[in-house]
Amino acid sequence: MCSSVQVEKALRNELNPTFNLQPSIFYYLFSFTMKKKTLFYILVFLTVLACTKRNALPPVVSNTDWKTKSIAPYPQQLNGDADSGFYYLKNGSYLGTGIPYRLVKKTVERNNERFVRRARLVSKHSYAVFETEQGCKVMNGTCFSCHSSKLNGELVLGLGNSLNHSQINLIIPSMVMDFGIRKIYRKDTATLASYDEFGKNFKHMARYIHTNNPVVNPAARIAEACMQYRNPDDLKYTPTPQYDMRKYNIASDIPALWHLQKKNALYYTGVGRGDFTKLLFQASVLGIKDSAAARKAQEKFVHVVAWIRSLQPPKYPQQIDSSLVSIGKTIYLNSCKHCHGTYDAPEQYPNRLVAIDEVGTDPLYASYAMDSKIVGWYNKSWFAKSSPHSWFEPEKGYVAPPLDGIWATAPYFHNGSVPTVYQVLNSKARPKKWKRPKNSQDYDWNKLGWKHKEKKLILDKWVYDTSLPGYGNQGHRYGDHLSEAQRLALIEYLKTL
């Protein structure tokens, strides 16, 4: 049996250089805590093997009664302060609880830049240190863990992070971390209470969020897994799951936050309806105590919405051929504006849902939303029953996204299966297996997207395999009829958005 001092020393050694709410922290924590690497690899292998036992995939839905339809607006709270919202996103306690800060304090404060680099964080904005209601300092991730990224070497807040580490399996690491922290602080009731909600929910969540491909994010699964152990009325933790979850993880690309100001509903299927302050802070269920704590966070998210609405997409930084832009704009207005809107003042975005059978992109993500038991839970929960109201309304289709800043938002489609805009417009050019670079400067300025290597065999975790269920790159063949010259002209116009 290890003493609490020994456990604390082990956790301190591993949490210090590698703290990150993204899975890398727990991977490193476990690999270093286990002294014998052989045992580590055996346990990881057994965990992965156990996780390959999947219940059936959700039934694939189709849609023949409509092709496109628009989502009506819902009154939003627009009286927030953008500066306050940005501060709260960086420093706020909207996750309620977290890992005791004393475990990582020395390393974080000794050399913050080195800490951020070794922890594989995007920037210092990716984590927050805050005080809990017990008066203890804890560390947890922020929204910027997923919603910020580097592009051409520059940090872009609000851009989806396609270099997240969600392929790492967290089942065993989460159990080791939870055991260690609870052993260390078993007599420190305040610190333990400051960790408890996060610890319990993270253990439950860990078994569901291991993704099958890189660049995608399990955000919907995180919410589904955390709410599974919450009472719908008061959001208090319950040891009994409120509904079943399918084991197969269908993840998604991370959308740019600046698109929110145009949207009438959230998420790729438009399932998130009603008040955005509630829809946006759902991840808080990972660590908050109850609906009273949720209310405090929701009220602060009025300011977060204001900050997001103030975001502007980054301007294309290279030279643009103006002679091609006018040709491309004509093509766009003839072929694309019906679904994606117009961008000359006054801008018009139609919030258009496109049926699965019409757009033809991989149907499994929308099918999963139609099948998930979280919909029923959410619609009878505090989120839907208290004011301001939000609810889930899954659809058999996908929302055609706004295109402002499209040049910066690779990869494309709801599942991130297509690395460049050129390939979105030319379905025959889409790779079946591909690997994106880890350097944010490896950008294809002509095709708009990430330079990538096509792979025939999966040799490492960073290869995107479009043959996996839910990750296909089919559909959206609306650019296939274009000539090569027309396609390049359209891309030139899209650079201006």
Q: What is the 8-class DSSP label of residue 140? A: E
Per-residue pLDDT, 438: 82
144-170 pLDDT tens trace = 999 999 999 999 999 999 887 788 888
SS3 342: strand
Contact by Cβ (8 Å): 444, 450: yes
| Separation of alpha carbons 93 and 83, rounded Å | 16
250-280 pLDDT tens trace = 999 999 999 999 999 999 999 999 999 999 9
pLDDT band with cut points at 50, 70 and 90 for residue 459: low
289-319 pLDDT tens trace = 999 999 999 999 999 999 999 999 999 999 9
Per-residue pLDDT, 4: 52
In this prediction, residues 228-252 reach a mean pLDDT of 94
335-362 pLDDT tens trace = 999 999 999 989 999 999 999 999 999 9
Per-residue pLDDT, 458: 54
Task: Write the single-letter amino acid at 194.
Answer: S
| Separation of alpha carbons 131 and 62, rounded Å | 48
Task: Dig out the tokens for 120 from the structure.
Answer: 């594989």
Contact by Cβ (8 Å): 319, 361: no
Task: Dig out the tokens for 497 from the structure.
Answer: 């958005």
70-104 pLDDT tens trace = 999 999 999 999 999 999 999 999 999 999 999 88
Beta bridge partners of 148: 157
Does residue 47 carry a pLDDT above 60?
Answer: no
Distance of CA 230 to the CA centre of its chain: 21
Per-residue pLDDT, 36: 44
pLDDT band with cut points at 50, 70 and 90 for residue 5: low
Task: Dig out the tokens for 243 from the structure.
Answer: 């509904």
Distances (CA, A) of 363 to 131, 305, 366, 448: 43, 30, 6, 25
Q: Which of 76-85, 182-191, 206-215, 375-384 has the lowest mean pLDDT?
A: 206-215
Give the helix/strand (H/E) hosting 115: helix 112-118
In this prediction, residues 11-34 reach a mean pLDDT of 44
* Separation of first and last alpha carbons in the chain: 61
| Separation of alpha carbons 321 and 423, rounded Å | 20
Per-residue pLDDT, 74: 97
Q: Which of 29-33, 60-64, 460-464, 479-483 has the lowest mean pLDDT?
A: 29-33
48-73 pLDDT tens trace = 444 444 457 999 998 888 999 999 99
Q: Using CA atoms in the order 413, 419, 422, 425, what is the torsion angle rounded to 10 degrees?
A: -30
pLDDT band with cut points at 50, 70 and 90 for residue 454: confident
68-70 β-sheet, strand order = 68-70, 352-355, 397-399
| Separation of alpha carbons 25 and 127, rounded Å | 12
Does residue 34 carry a pLDDT above 60?
Answer: no
Q: Which of 219-223, 402-406, 470-474 has the lowest mean pLDDT?
A: 219-223
Residue written as tokens 């759902």?
282
Per-residue pLDDT, 171: 87
Beta bridge partners of 131: 137
Per-residue pLDDT, 37: 47
Task: Write the single-letter amino acid at 10.
Answer: A
Does residue 227 carry a pLDDT above 70?
Answer: yes
Per-residue pLDDT, 374: 96
376-423 pLDDT tens trace = 999 999 999 999 999 999 999 999 999 999 999 999 999 999 999 999
Residue written as tokens 């609870």?
182
How high does pLDDT run on average in the chain? 88
pTM (2 d.p.): 0.89
Give the helix/strand (H/E) hosting 130: strand 127-131
Does residue 35 carry a pLDDT above 50?
Answer: no
Nearest to 304 by CA among 473, 80, 34: 80
Give the helix/strand (H/E) hosting 354: strand 352-355
Nearest to 193 by CA among 287, 292, 297: 287
127-131 β-sheet, strand order = 99-100, 137-141, 127-131
Per-residue pLDDT, 369: 94
Residue written as tokens 């880890």?
438
How does DSSP assign 198-223, residue by residue? HHHHHHHHHTT---SSSS-B-HHHHH
Q: What is the 8-class DSSP label of residue 420? A: B
Task: Dig out the tokens for 244 from the structure.
Answer: 């079943």
Contact by Cβ (8 Å): 410, 420: yes
Task: Dig out the tokens for 234 from the structure.
Answer: 């008061």
In this prediction, residues 223-231 reach a mean pLDDT of 94
Task: Dig out the tokens for 63 from the structure.
Answer: 């849609």
pLDDT band with cut points at 50, 70 and 90 for residue 15: low
Does residue 334 carry a pLDDT above 60?
Answer: yes
